[in-house]
Structure 1
Amino acid sequence: MARGSQRRPAQNRRGGATKTARRDETGIIPVLARVVREVEAAVARRSAMPDVRTKFQVVALLAREERTRVRADDTLSDARRGEELKRLDGIATILAQTAAADPRLFDLLAEDAEVSDSAQELKRELQRRAGYDVPDPEPEPAVDPAEVLAERRAIPQSVIARQLANPFLVPDFDAAVATRRTSGRLATWELLGPLFRSFEDTTPGAPVCMDLPEPEDAGLIMLPPGRELMAHQARMVEAAAEGHRTFLLADEPGLGKTAQALLAAQVADAYPLLVAVPNVVKTNWAREVELWTPSRRSTVLHGDAMDVDGFADVFVVNYEILDRHLGWLGQHGFRGMIVDEAHYIKNKSSQRSQNVLELAARIRTRVPRPLLMALTGTPLINDIEDFRAIWQFLGWIDDKKPLGELMAELDDTGLTPADRQFYPVARQIVVDMGIVRRRKVDVASDIPARRIADVPVELEGEAGRSIRKAEEDLARRLVERYDRALETRRNQSLVEGIDHDLVRQVATWEREDISTDSGENVFGMLRRIGQAKAGLAADYAAQLARSAGKVVFFAKHIDVMDTAEETFASRGIPSVSIRGDQTKSAREKAIDSFTKDPDVQVIVCSLTAAGVGINLQVASNLVLAELSWTDAEQTQAIDRVHRIGQTEPVTAWRVIATQTIDTRVAELIGSKAGLAARALDAEVEEGDAGFDLQLEALVGLLTGALEKREATALF
């Protein structure tokens, strides 16, 4: 509204005795006082119909605006300002008392509460009663919603190039199958509620996993050299090979859901494939594509995705930027879609969930039998209502009823929700639609007793840029030192190319020169990386805690532990900690709380203070938030969980910062100590005891910088 329309009529701002009387009878406050009394009386009569709710919201909005205007109006005396604010306080008191009588009204007071067209019209009407000059709103020109979205959404150039290269990209109906007809027997029944209630049955033996076929010929599932599928993974992939196309893959963390999903896409030829994931695992998905389906090219969408490869086979995008790319993603011809950590879309009213559901609907429109997979480690029995959006993503239901195959199967039973037998039968039918749920204990023979899996994360923002610059500065300093050393050898025979002996010597000098003033050393850099990825590591641990139960979180530094505890508190996840400055009684109390209290989901441990002497086998998942300079330190931490009394396979999740020296350190540890997603009980190679991890990290950094310089010189 224009500034002038907020002012009172001119006569209300004149001085004299008439001023007070006219102010009492004119302006917006008397109008609001009358309407708020109407609302109060209606609610007292237990009548909170839509028109009453609209009046309540409009009075609140106008009172809020008038309070702001009165406080800013320098033409008012302090006495008059105080009087009008007092009258507004009276209106606010009535609003609060009315809302207390009907708490649903509180939602209308939120800053982001939706203001309907009827509320906007009533607001203008009340302002006119107060004497304001309020013009009618100009009718908005008819606009195609798709055009509005196109204006604010990014369309990468390579995607346009692909569309031009494929001008006849049209819906593919070759795979269309006849839709099973139903008798309409259940048309008048409310079925979604009974379907959800059927999963409240916690009777031992109630089905939680569809029957999965045994692979007839393991060779039909093409695996890259050096890769093997565990038996439970192969059965799920075989189901996709036999034609099943919708899966809620709810295996516990650590059972290889990513590999199963990518291989299912391969056997189903579901390319191009769209993968929607949380930002923390985006890079990991691209890496897994390379590991499990190396013949397929992946591309990761960042921001406006102007560097995306429009001709890739697998497109990985995080939920937060889906809205920017909804337009072209919906028209790209995807034949499959995977949603990782699918519990992220459980809130159907969220923009994230709506974007995912819209994309899935567009894919189903183009491809009648696409591969749709929802991946989550969240147990099914927690709150089945959370799976409403997931079932809709898979195409099993819509907002009101079961769809297609699910409806036909329910119809064929001859049962209705009035029959007691309907519930176990309906549950089995839904499970057979594609629910796959295995626990570690169910497939313990398939997986190593203990293993380490890496979780790559990207360091974004100022912290990430600062760390990458510091690493570049360190590499440049090493190169300069290397060049100076070469200069001293001018009269000696020089090695062609990179002198690797000299590289090691320069790295040794840097390793010994801890107190250099010329820039940050490798020790400080690794600590900064740990600080930068602390929140991401804690977020991943929180996901594990919600999906798989108790989690042990290990870190080296106090500030990383502090960040982790703050993250868990903000997520509503109870946690305790073990630190070096604790008393013995405080330490024992923290351990007892974690091991005995089912509500305490996470224990935050110092690698040095909790690495030895405690038993935490109540958990089977632990997160290593920071890399250690010694393999022994990490192994000791893992042994706090993997020890006598442990009944489940143990998985240690190492959080690795990509595009930093963190990755190099992780690779070195893995190559020398049997880590990086391998069993930990491999024998240590002879000579490893003298392995200097810091030195090798510097050697790798300098070698990489010299190789990059040589490659640049060739062009």
Structure 2
Amino acid sequence: MSRPGRRQSDARQNASRPQRGPEDLMAVIARGVRDVQVAVDRRRVTQSVRTKFQAIALLVREEHARVQAQQTNRQAPRSEALKRLDGIATTLAKTAVRDPGLLALLADDAAVSDEVRSLTRDMQRRAGVELTPEVTAPPEPAEVSLVAERQVVPQSVISRQLSNPFLAPDFSAAARPSAPRIRRLAGWELLTPLLNSFERASSGATACMALPAPGVRQLRGGRELMPHQAQVVAAAAEGHRTFLLADEPGLGKTAQALLAADAANAYPLLVVVPSVVKTNWVREVGLWTPHRKATMVQGNGDTVDGFADVVVVNYEVLDRHVGWFGEFGFRGMVVDEAHFIKNRTSQRSRHVLDLSKRIRLRTVRPLLMALTGTPLINDIDDFRAIWQFLGWIDEAEPRTELMNSLEDVGLTPAEPGFYPSARQCVIDLGIVRRRKIDVAADIPARRIADLPVELDDKVGRSIRAAERDLAQRLVARYETALANRDAEPTEGIDHELVSRVASWELKDADSAKTGENVFTMMRHIGQAKAGLAADYAAQLARSAGKVVFFAKHVDVMDTAQEAFEKQGIRYSSIRGDQTPTVRQRNIDAFVKEPDVAIAVCSLTAAGVGINLQVASNIVLAELSWTDAEQTQAIDRSHRIGQTEPVTAWRIIAAQTIDSRIAELIDSKAGLAARALDGSDVEISSSTDVQHATLVALLTDALTASL
């Protein structure tokens, strides 16, 4: 404890010193930067050092924004202040690179602790700065939603950030929607009526916004757009910024998206795609916009070019990169095969929707494009996630632009005229749907030809026996359920109970590890057809030229390839487990080498995004579960550039459940036609062919027993 005399002496000395006024804020910041540098040099980066580092970062951003916004006739002092701040920011950024813990604190969405806020206020007080609440305000929820999921930041992206370090994003110019004019529709639930308006579409009611006349069609390098492609580019050039580009497969959606982005100057542009088409998108950038540079995100992004105009990433690795994607400053986003996000609860859908939201918050009228030739896979509800990505709706209601359009209609969902008008309001926001028959008359027609094959006696008998066993199991479940319920017996077949029994069986089949079910039966049928399908493909290759062979399962592909090797037929293999480089090399071999006669393709891995129009004959060795998947496969050949009629040969195992499934697939094909093309084809709420197959199998068995 010090003595009273000592305290009096200290007080006299302090009184004799000149009283120091507030320090210059730059001096306070500079001294803090030096303290942090010393700690990093000595490798003593404690929590207090990190707190000081982040407080300085906040002050630099605040001061830079304040100085930049100053209205003054004295430009020299303002420029000098900005230059000093940029120098401090550069020093901070270089220091942060040496310590990962510091680097993470530079993110716009880094959490700001109470200690950081307190130190920031103390540093401002020392500099005599009037405190403002904005400096210490926490980040907006939309900006921090993905903090926990941030995993990697490629070094090249850090280099790009360092080239213009530390400047706070300026969101002041970002478009803020005006308040909706809530009047007539206040309190109405609108999303369900909007979706229903597409199901209720009358015959001939197509789904395509009004498009301008085609603009420039001749491009640099001699490439030429078709008129329907040039219309979308012209719409983007005129200021339209959201598109659900739902052209039928094969009409060149990739080119339209890239050139629309160029017309809108929507760079940097983020493109989210299935992995099998990632390489192709980078190639297409070089073909259609050669003055723009594309980079592909692989794994952790070690090879990413942070200075590229177009960043292409596949759905599978999106979760590793959402952190820096959200801060990169994208001015446009394209989602290819947008039906991949139809399940809004899936991780990839949540990432896509969150990135879209962040881009809309940060950018003045960004370009958002959802590309899919098959926007409806199961039912009309598949539209929800796509509309949400485009910013037309939120989780529960239309957003401002759509809401105001609906208000202008002057009707409520209780009035019949609401539905066609509401549908048109959605279409006008940017739905573009063209069919080949409408816009590409020079593309030859396609047809699907079923080729029934008889299975080997032993194999055929085995499959038919398994089918009978499955039918008997279904009948037993039906009869047990019928006997155990309290209700009065139903005259004839109880179709509601049939549907429930089919659902029980399907659920058991999904979780079963062993035993025969509808899925294992279809796989056995595919294996049994493999040799026959390969023989037919070889016959076609000899007589008609190149052939594309599609199968669902690897063992079916293996059997076909063995058959082709025995017959001396060269082939290319396109599978899901290949690297993008290998896959593209095999595609190029089939397309460019005359003696490569057959492309053996995985129905899931090669059914989207690749161009195989050098072949006009397709062999579908196994049936898919949806018409959309089948259509996607056929349209690898039936697309722009095709010069001959395209025939898809479906190999059907006669006298088996295979035939019934083919019929069900065809019967479910009207969903997209009804919703988008105004067709009169009846549709159901779901294309659950597995369930319908079991219903048909049980119904047939019960009918036979009556």
TM-score range, shorter chain: 0.3 to 0.5
Query: Looking at both structures, which has the greater relative contact order when contacts are Cα pairs under 8 Å and sequence separation is at least 6?
Result: 2
Q: TM-score, normalised by structure 1?
A: 0.47
- Give the TM-score normalised by the residue count of structure 2: 0.48
